[in-house]
Amino acid sequence: MKLSYLCMTGYDGPAPGIDIWPASPEFCKPDVAGKSYARYLEMVETAEQLGFDWVSVSEHHYAPYQMTPNPMIMAASIIQRTKRVRVALLGPLVPLNNPVRLAEEVAMLDGLSGGRIEVLFLRGTPNEHKTYDTPADQTKKMTQEGIDLILKAWTEEKPFSWTGEQYNFSTVSIWPHITQKPYPPVFGSGNSEDSVVFAAKRRIGIGFSFAPPEVVSKWIDLYRRECAKEGWEPTPNHIIYRGITYCAETDAKAYADMEAFFGMQAEEQGRLQSATLGGPPVLDLIAKPYFVGSPETLIAKFKALREIGVGICDLPFVVGSPAQQRAALELFGKEVLPVVQKWDTNAFVNPITVAAE
């Protein structure tokens, strides 16, 4: 199994919580933001030294929990600080960007990194669509057509024009040419039946975030069946799962630290919200974190994901203070990572009936 360290680039100072969007810029102190970036780049270096397969970055806007409105810039910094680890863009939000520009920027990063790029193109959450007032009802179509345009831009040897429902370009001619052939490993969303079918038809991978394993298992089964209909067979290396991660010596300590951390976040969030909005404190966690516990517990949780077909796990170490995050990362790298990385992801553990229906 492949393991990825998600470089969250969160703001290491007091700031509004995840359910306050947009976060007012009055809370952002530039010196704190700069130190936060520096700390996360140091964590990236540590992740590479520990043996992680990937380091990933994502795109988010108007929020302190992930200060990467342009993940390409962060990826470029990571490329300069690392030598071996693959750099995963998980992912650029297609409806918020010019897809030809995305194709150019990914090609540039692929060249700068010597062919170390992976990319998951995403639609983004509803609040992200408000960033530039993108029509929400068009975002799925924009994402899917944008992916088709990007893949064509990477594989065409001659300039071409594009006339589509969402995009029109008189001339597309990508320089530099993409380094990995025919293009870097590409993934799409796996969070709906339509998205799963789309990925299967394009022969690209799929990704999931924070969903319960039993839900993910159903989507993976559908994906494998749809790929069979298209005449190809994916592997677990086509399937990414993301989950918040915290590793401690015992389960009791891991859960106590996690509960203390989210409790402090809720208290701080309530104070800031009362000051800015005059409302009561609100804490709306994405989901109960999956990868929390002792090394033994985490290994068992990875095994459960492997058995349903997941081959790559993207792990944000965001629980606790900076010191606790580093300690969790280092313990994970010593006790969990070597065990999990030995598992083969070139074939699925469990068979599935994949005959066309």
**Residue 94 · residue 122 · CB < 8 Å:** yes
| Residue the block writes with tokens 């703001």 | 11
| Residue the block writes with tokens 């969250």 | 8
Report d(CA 195, CA 190) in Å as an integer.
6
For the chain, 357 residues long, give each residue's pLDDT as a single digit of tens: 999 999 999 999 999 988 899 999 999 999 999 999 999 999 999 999 999 999 999 999 999 999 999 999 999 999 999 999 999 999 899 999 999 999 999 999 999 999 999 999 999 999 999 999 999 999 999 999 999 999 999 999 999 999 999 999 999 999 999 999 999 999 999 989 999 999 999 999 999 998 889 999 999 999 999 999 999 999 999 999 999 999 999 999 999 999 898 876 544 444 434 333 333 333 333 447 889 999 999 999 999 999 999 999 999 999 999 999 999 999 999 999 999 999 999 999 998 765 544
Structure tokens at 105: 């920027």
Give me the residues paired with residue 2 across strands: 312
The DSSP-derived string for 302-341 is HHHHHHHT--EEEE---SS-HHHHHHHHHHHHHHTHHHHT
Report d(CA 342, CA 42) in Å as an integer.
26
In words, the CATH class of domain 2-340 is: alpha beta
